[in-house]
Every structure is written in C-alpha cells, then in structure tokens.
C-alpha cells in the first residue's frame, strides 16, 4: 500500500504546486513564473520585496483567492464523485449527471430570490439551502430509478436526466421572475470562479473539512460495499443507513461547492474514474489521491477558461464539458457494448 500511495501523493502534490504557480502567472496581465513565486515569498518574514504594487495586488487579491477556491471546489467535486461511484457501484455515477448539482443550484437560486433579505442567514445560509436542494434531487432520482428494490445502471442515469430537466425548468422559471437578480441566477447555471474572494474560501473550508473527514473514515465501508450489498449485510453492516449517510456527505460537498461557484459538471466523473484505473479501487488510496487530482484538474480548467480568449473569460463549465461530455459518452458506450446492466 505504501509503495503505491507515497509516490503518487508526492507526485500529485508537486504537480499541484507547479499548477498553482503556473496559474498565478497566466492571465490578462502576465506575471513571470519566477516573479510570481517571489511575490508569494515576499509575505514571509525577512524576505525582500518583489514586484510592483500592481503585480502584488494581482497575485494576492485577484488570482490567489481564485486559485484556492478552484482547488477547494475541484477537491470537493472529485471526492463527491468517488463517494457516489463507490456507494452506488456505478462508474457513471456523478453528482452532476444524477441531478444533484442542478438541485443544489435550484436551492441557491431560490435562496437568492426569496430568502436573501433574511439578514441573520447571510452568506452562511446559502450552502445549507443548496444542500437541501441537492438532497431533494438525489432522493427523487433514487426513488425514480428503483424497481422491485433494484436500480440498474441505465435506469439510474435516465432518472438523473429526468430530474436535471425538471429542476432545470424550475431554474429557468426563477430566471424569468427574478428581475434584477437574473444575472446572479444565470451564474449558477453556467458555473464560474470570476469575482472570487477569500470570503468564498472561508465559507467553503468547514464544509470541505467536515465532508472529507467523514468520507476518509468510511473507506473500509466503501470497500466492503464495492464487493456487493449482500456481502456487506453478511458482515453486519446496515447497508441502507450507510448508503444514505455517505451519499448525504457527498451531496453536502457538491452543494457547498455549487453554492459558491455554480454548476460545474463532470469533475466527479472524470477524475475518480481515471484515478481508479491508475491506483486501483481501494478507497483508502483512491479518495485522497482523487481529491488532489480533482484540484489540479479544475485549476487547469479555470486557467484555460480565463486565458484561452484574450480579454474575455469562458464559463468554467464550458471547459469541463468539452472534456467530460466525450468522456461520459465513451464510458456509456463501453458499458452498453459489454451489456452491463448491473443491479445495486
């Protein structure tokens, strides 16, 4: 185990560090890589000043909070994808595909339209309302997909498409009646890390810590459930309660991320699947490594989104969809070709 996890952990963390430096440099105003690093060190005691005031402001006030937010959101979406795929024993399971993300976005949009004037809730209430929306959408998908106590792979995905369409219609309706708040709701549908601040990072951090700690403590149960629910029951596990708890933790991670950056699709599908191919299905290894890999993937996606068109910025969901949609089509075609309709 150590032979596998240590080199991969070191390698991914080093790649994350290089990605952060590259992302600090790339943008409408180019800051050389070495200078970006020296500006970071400038805030340590006894380090010489580096860069101009404008360059320091770009690095510390604009790019660094956005980078930290991208790292957090990528890690949260990827960890959620690992939990969904593991507990549902379905490599196509993903909070975005199953409609959890759009449910969380609907909760956030409803909060903006109807509850934003409740002063004591403030920004802290947004992730909680998003979580409620995500839980409702997940429950509807699972109920819709169930047939005689079983849910096959294709039925689950189709149920997710149905709930996505339904909740997407509600989002469109909210846009129609939102008035001056229309732009904010459109933001939740497209996904973006623009206008990020340290406040967004602070709001997300407790949800990230709580969700990750819980999921990391459940790696043995995830491994057992991967063997089959019957085997897990024989080993004394209360399977349904465990499934609900782990899916709720994954939904919490997704909903909190959506509440701050909107809907960003396919991160929880691509990263866990690729990491499973590389490091295997053991969740003790898969979960933490997928978390780091998800942070790298989303950070590069955001860097591309703000650098590919000069003086403009693409929604980050467009970049992840360009990668994720073909990947999802490949996995779906591969599963259908093999005739897999496994029940779980």
* Interval 125-143 mean pLDDT: 92
Determine the Cα angle at 300 with ends 53 and 316, to 5°.
95
pLDDT at 114: 80
Which is more confidently placed, 17 or 54? 17
pLDDT at 223: 92
* Interval 241-265 mean pLDDT: 93
Name the band, by pLDDT with cuts 50, 70 and 90, for residue 90.
confident
Determine the Cα angle at 309 with ends 307 and 313, to 5°.
70
Q: Does pLDDT of 120 surpass 80?
A: no
* Interval 208-231 mean pLDDT: 91
pLDDT at 312: 80
- Residues with Cβ within 8 Å of residue 253, at least 6 apart in sequence: 76, 77, 79, 80, 83, 207, 208, 211, 212
Look at 164-173, 218-227, 307-316 and tell me which has the smallest mean pLDDT: 307-316
**Local structure of residue 48 (DSSP, 8 states):** P
pLDDT at 340: 45
pLDDT at 19: 94
Which is more confidently placed, 103 or 44? 103
pLDDT at 41: 79
Q: Distance between alpha carbon 174 and the CA centroid of its chain, in Å?
A: 24
Are the beta carbons of 259 and 130 closer than 8 angstroms?
yes
Percent helix, strand and coil across the chain, each to the nearest 5: 75, 0, 20
- Residue carrying the six token digits 């950070």: 299
Q: Does pLDDT of 339 surpass 60?
A: no
Look at 138-142, 157-161, 330-334 and tell me which has the smallest mean pLDDT: 330-334
Name the band, by pLDDT with cuts 50, 70 and 90, for residue 320.
very high
Separation of alpha carbons 38 and 211, rounded Å: 34
What's the pTM? 0.90
Separation of alpha carbons 230 and 344, rounded Å: 10
Tokens coding 183: 């732009």
* Interval 311-331 mean pLDDT: 87
* Interval 180-202 mean pLDDT: 81
> What is the tens place of the pLDDT at every residue in 260-312?
999 999 999 999 999 998 898 999 999 999 999 999 999 999 999 988 887 78
Domains of the chain: 1-334 (1.10.3470.10)
**Residue 341: is it exposed, middle or buried by C-beta count within 10 angstroms (0-12/13-18/19+)?**
exposed
Which is more confidently placed, 258 or 39? 258
Task: State what percent of residues in the chain have pLDDT above 70.
Answer: 87
Which is more confidently placed, 157 or 74? 74
Longest dimension (CA), the chain: 69
Task: State what percent of residues in the chain have pLDDT above 90.
Answer: 47
Separation of alpha carbons 83 and 48, rounded Å: 45
């Amino acid at each position: 185990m150590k032979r596998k996890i240590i080199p991969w952990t070191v390698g991914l963390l080093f790649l994350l560090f290089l990605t952060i430096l590259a992302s600090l440099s790339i943008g409408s105003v180019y800051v050389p890589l070495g200078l970006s690093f020296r500006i970071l060190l400038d805030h340590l005691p006894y380090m010489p000043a580096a860069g101009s005031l404008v360059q320091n402001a770009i690095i510390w006030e604009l790019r660094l909070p956005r980078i930290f937010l991208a790292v957090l959101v990528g890690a949260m979406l990827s960890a959620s994808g690992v939990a969904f795929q593991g507990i549902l024993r379905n490599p196509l399971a993903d909070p975005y595909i199953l409609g959890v993300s759009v449910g969380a976005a609907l909760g956030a949009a409803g909060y903006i339209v109807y509850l934003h004037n409740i002063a004591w809730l403030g920004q802290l209430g947004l992730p909680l309302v998003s979580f409620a929306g995500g839980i409702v959408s997940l429950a509807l998908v699972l109920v819709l997909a169930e047939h005689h106590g079983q849910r096959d792979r294709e039925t689950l995905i189709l149920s997710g498409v149905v709930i996505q369409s339904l909740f997407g219609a509600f989002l469109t309706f909210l846009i129609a009646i939102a008035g001056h708040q229309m732009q904010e709701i459109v933001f939740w549908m497209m996904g973006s890390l623009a206008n990020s601040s340290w406040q967004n990072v602070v709001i997300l951090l407790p949800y990230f810590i709580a969700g990750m700690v819980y999921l990391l403590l459940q790696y043995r149960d995830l491994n057992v459930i991967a063997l089959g629910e019957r085997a897990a029951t024989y080993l004394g596990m209360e399977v349904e309660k465990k499934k609900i708890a782990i899916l709720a933790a994954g939904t919490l991670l997704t909903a909190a991320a959506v509440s701050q950056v909107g809907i960003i699709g396919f991160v929880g599908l691509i990263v866990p699947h690729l990491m499973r191919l590389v490091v295997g299905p053991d969740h003790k290894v898969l979960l933490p490594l997928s978390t780091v890999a998800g942070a790298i993937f989303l950070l590069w996606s955001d860097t591309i989104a703000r650098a590919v068109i000069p003086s403009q910025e693409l929604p980050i969901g467009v970049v992840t969809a360009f990668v994720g949609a073909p990947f999802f089509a490949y996995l779906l075609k591969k599963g259908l070709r093999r005739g897999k309709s496994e029940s779980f």
